[in-house]
Amino acid sequence: MRAALALCLSFAVTACVTPTRMYSTDELAAAGRACGLELGELAQEAEEPRLLFFITPNPPRAQQVCVQRWARRRSLHLVLIEGVERVP
């Protein structure tokens, strides 16, 4: 009886977890535009779809907050990569 109950509980818990999806380039670009970013400053990798990479040199705090909210609503973890330089 306990084994059956444990099995049912494990199925109930896993049913609540939604798989992370890959967002298209257009969706990421739209989110970036909404936060005042340039094209390509938000990225997602297929190997780890739960991570949202924010690649920009010294982003203003308002942009960080905007991207963090967008990521949080979609159950993504924001990874801020600041140590980059723009090449003209």
CA angle 37, 33, 28 (to 5 degrees): 90
Domain ranges of the chain: 20-81
Q: What is the mean pLDDT of the chain?
A: 84
The confidence score (pLDDT) of residue 86 equals 67
Split at pLDDT 50, 70, 90, the class of 56 is: confident
CA distance 53 to 71: 10
Tokens read off for 66: 């905007």
Split at pLDDT 50, 70, 90, the class of 20 is: confident
Highest mean pLDDT pick, 57-61, 65-69, 79-83:
65-69
The confidence score (pLDDT) of residue 33 equals 95
Q: Burial of 16 by CB count in 10 Å (0-12 exposed, 13-18 middle, 19+ buried)?
A: exposed
The confidence score (pLDDT) of residue 52 equals 96
Classified as helix, coil or strand, 34 is: helix
